[in-house]
Chains A and B, each alone.
Chain A
Amino acid sequence: MYVELKNINKSYGDFKASKDVNLGIEKGSLVALLGPSGSGKTTILRMIAGLERPDSGDIMIDGVRVNDVSPSERGIGFVFQNYALFRYMTVYENIAFGLEIKKMPKKEIKARVEELIELTGLKGFEKRYPNQLSGGQRQRVAFARALAPNPSLLLLDEPFAAIDAKVRQELRSWLREMIYKVGITSIFVTHDQDEAVEVADQIIVTNKGRVEQIGTPKEIYKNPDTPFVSEFIGRSTLIEDYHKLKGFEKGDYKGAIVRPEFVEAFKADNKVFSDVIDCSEEGVVTDILFRGNSLELKLNVNGIELTTFRSLERRKVEIGEKMRVIIYRLYAVDDEKAYLLENQELKNKDIKNRRLEAYLYSSDGYFVV
């Protein structure tokens, strides 16, 4: 493990920002700290950087306990949420600053800065001041400035928060590419799950000062450990009477979380689903919303409100229409954990339809690509 946090606690007055946080990050990985605002993700990042001190616990970087090492000696680069570019320095001076502090010879500084300007595509902007740059360009400068002293760990605090939606998409892939090119271990904080899934190869989900789950985006998505993760990731609806749904039995759970992609709704005469139609039950369409690339259907199944998406290529449905509904799986939750429950009736059925088989039983489920 390159970065390790052991039993970290941190409070601000009465507010507990970190409760017994334990986590490890491998060398070379790109990790997202994901959670709603106030979940303690930024605190974790700032503690790794040394901008905050934990009340108790150990922070290790590369096997060395760094609790008492000053931020500048930890070998990190930090990209601030609003970039914190030096407003009275040019792009060149911003990037060179860290190197000047390290008393690097002028010639080497010049070479290094030029290399970074080349890498980040900022050529021609060297003499500009931060207020003469666009949001995306500022992020590039912040990135180059953080990388200039050759840190072994890059920390980014909400790197996309200050950028408008359209450019954000572009920058996500740019940043991911850059980080791989440089090959630096990186941790970034985000509250946006799409961002985390798209950019990171490891996600650490935080909530109320605790680490809820650590895993690859796939794992987090498919096997949520806790009620919070199952609800926070993806679009989900929490239902209490899940046992009223066909194929699920009452267990010792408090409720269940259903995602739109777990719900299949089809017309009674649909041939693809003909051999599983006896596993389905009736649902009434209560609302239809146009979502651009698909329709979002609201269904009332046995008194339970469910949501599913429907391709625009499929046949037309209307409000009030009675459809057949199958719920493939759901996450049953108690106070602590989330458990994947498969539809029992489907599982026990011997299906000959090859297309559905893969879809229903593959261990990768809907992640088959």
Chain B
Amino acid sequence: MSKTKSFKGGRVIPGFGLSFGITIAMLSILILIPLASVLFQSFRLSPKEFFEIVTMPNVLYAFATSIGCALIAALINCFFGVILAWVLVRYEFPGKRIMDGMIELPFCLPTAVAGITLSKMYSTKGEIGGPLYEWFGIKISYTHIGLIVALVFIGIPFVVRAIQPVLEKLDSQYEEAAYILGAKKLTTFYRVILPELKPALLTGFGLAFARGIGEYGSVIYISGNNEKEHTQVISYIIMQKLNYLEYESATAIALIMLIISFLLLLFINIVQIRQSRRVSNV
């Protein structure tokens, strides 16, 4: 009779209740309830206290630094991401598979390792930073530029991996049609290919941007965390508050970050839903 009973749910494939229960339970216990605790704790502050904490100059600067650098890095990644994805999908050349594999490196490499390595490489005595400083007088490590370099490193796979499948599915007939209609290469790209890539590009941008705002391990070494030069990122501020046991301040700042990430996630999801609708309507 148990079979008949489960059928009353009206689903043919078994396991809905089980997988639903386990998914929700694990998600709640491991992710949602701890995050709710942050929310809960920050409510202990009065609105005035809350406002004072999140508008302290170093917090505001840190938000500006995190958001600004993440934005610039995400834009740079969009530019290189499109080129990389295009090259990896549309061209045959020796070493392509290695190149394709390397894209994922920032996913696999521990952020702290990336952090200390980039910081050393781009310092005024480093392999890249040294020549740049000597010849052009440009400092990278311990400046905003360094921060952006680290965030470009972290964000590149998000953009490339978002675009690649779309570019693969984009039938070359499409371009051929535009080509036959007399469109030039560049025109074809701007008018035909880029609009098709837009949702995927926005998704990749959103993911890289979100990741960049919250990034910790890879940026704290290269940024120098100098309050006067405004190179402290927001994750660093939270960690600092934690180390000083200023939990209220930490939760207040974290709440703002949570809101930002949630809005970004929402944005990405809306883009993705609209994308799948568009595709299914064709």
What is the chain B residue whose CB lies nearest that of A51? B12
Q: Contact mask A68-92 → B, CB, 8 Å, 1/0? A: 1111110000000000000000000
A53 close to B (CB within 8 Å): yes
Task: Let me know if B4 and A68 touch, CB within 8 A.
Answer: yes
B3 close to A (CB within 8 Å): yes
Task: Let me know if A72 and B3 touch, CB within 8 A.
Answer: yes
B101 close to A (CB within 8 Å): no
Task: Let me know if A73 and B3 touch, CB within 8 A.
Answer: yes
Q: A residues within 8 A CB of B4? A: 68-70, 73
- The CA-CA distance from A73 to B7 in the complex, in Å, is 11
- The CA-CA distance from A51 to B10 in the complex, in Å, is 8
Q: Contact mask B1-24 → A, CB, 8 Å, 1/0? A: 001101110101000000000000
Task: Let me know if B3 and A70 touch, CB within 8 A.
Answer: yes
- Chain A at the B interface: SS class: loop
A50 close to B (CB within 8 Å): yes
Chain B interface: which size bin? Answer: under 10
Task: Let me know if A53 and B10 touch, CB within 8 A.
Answer: yes
- The CA-CA distance from A103 to B4 in the complex, in Å, is 19
- The CA-CA distance from A72 to B6 in the complex, in Å, is 12
What is the chain A residue whose CB lies nearest that of B3? A70
Q: B residues within 8 A CB of A51? A: 12
Q: A residues within 8 A CB of B3? A: 70, 72-73
- The CA-CA distance from A52 to B7 in the complex, in Å, is 10
Task: Let me know if B12 and A68 touch, CB within 8 A.
Answer: no
Q: Closest approach, in angstroms, between the C-beta of B25 and any C-beta of chain A?
A: 27
A-B contact number at CB 8 A: 19
Q: Which of B3, B7, B8, B10 lies at the interface centre, i.e. has the most chain A CB atoms within 10 A of its CB?
A: B7
Q: B residues within 8 A CB of A69? A: 4, 7
Task: Let me know if B8 and A50 touch, CB within 8 A.
Answer: no
Q: Contact mask B117-146 → A, CB, 8 Å, 1/0? A: 000000000000000000000000000000
- The CA-CA distance from A57 to B10 in the complex, in Å, is 15
What is the chain A residue whose CB lies nearest that of B9? A53
What is the chain B residue whose CB lies nearest that of A70? B7
- The CA-CA distance from A68 to B4 in the complex, in Å, is 6
Q: Closest approach, in angstroms, between the C-beta of B214 and any C-beta of chain A?
A: 38
- The CA-CA distance from A245 to B8 in the complex, in Å, is 58
Q: Closest approach, in angstroms, between the C-beta of A275 and any C-beta of chain B?
A: 58
- The CA-CA distance from A51 to B3 in the complex, in Å, is 14
What is the chain B residue whose CB lies nearest that of A54? B10
Q: Closest approach, in angstroms, between the C-beta of A47 and any C-beta of chain B?
A: 11
Q: B residues within 8 A CB of A72? A: 3
What is the chain B residue whose CB lies nearest that of A69? B4
- The CA-CA distance from A233 to B85 in the complex, in Å, is 51
Q: Which of A51, A52, A53, A70 lies at the interface centre, i.e. has the most chain B CB atoms within 10 A of its CB?
A: A70
What is the chain B residue whose CB lies nearest that of A68? B4
Q: Closest approach, in angstroms, between the C-beta of A107 and any C-beta of chain B?
A: 27
Task: Let me know if A71 and B12 touch, CB within 8 A.
Answer: yes
- The CA-CA distance from A52 to B4 in the complex, in Å, is 14
Q: Closest approach, in angstroms, between the C-beta of A13 and any C-beta of chain B?
A: 15
What is the chain B residue whose CB lies nearest that of A52? B10
Q: Contact mask A36-80 → B, CB, 8 Å, 1/0? A: 000000000000001111000000000000001111110000000
Q: B residues within 8 A CB of A50? A: 7, 12
Q: A residues within 8 A CB of B6? A: 70
- The CA-CA distance from A52 to B10 in the complex, in Å, is 7
- The CA-CA distance from A51 to B13 in the complex, in Å, is 9
Q: A residues within 8 A CB of B10? A: 52-53
Q: Closest approach, in angstroms, between the C-beta of A89 and any C-beta of chain B?
A: 18
- The CA-CA distance from A69 to B1 in the complex, in Å, is 10
Q: Closest approach, in angstroms, between the C-beta of B19 and any C-beta of chain A?
A: 19
- The CA-CA distance from A53 to B11 in the complex, in Å, is 9
Q: Closest approach, in angstroms, between the C-beta of A71 and any C-beta of chain B?
A: 6
Q: Closest approach, in angstroms, between the C-beta of A256 and any C-beta of chain B?
A: 37
Within B3-62, the residues touching A (CB, 8 Å) are 3-4, 6-8, 10, 12
Enumerate the 5 nearest inter-chain pairs by beta-carbon distance, A residue then B residue, closest first.
A70-B7, A53-B10, A70-B3, A51-B12, A70-B4
Chain A positions near chain B (C-beta within 8 angstroms): 50-53, 68-73
Q: Apart from A53-B10, A68-B4, A68-B7, what 15 extra A-B contacts exist at CB < 8 Å?
A: A50-B7, A50-B12, A51-B12, A52-B10, A68-B8, A69-B4, A70-B3, A70-B4, A70-B6, A70-B7, A71-B7, A71-B12, A72-B3, A73-B3, A73-B4
Chain B positions near chain A (C-beta within 8 angstroms): 3-4, 6-8, 10, 12
19 contacts between A and B (CB under 8 A): A50-B7, A50-B12, A51-B12, A52-B10, A53-B10, A68-B4, A68-B7, A68-B8, A69-B4, A69-B7, A70-B3, A70-B4, A70-B6, A70-B7, A71-B7, A71-B12, A72-B3, A73-B3, A73-B4
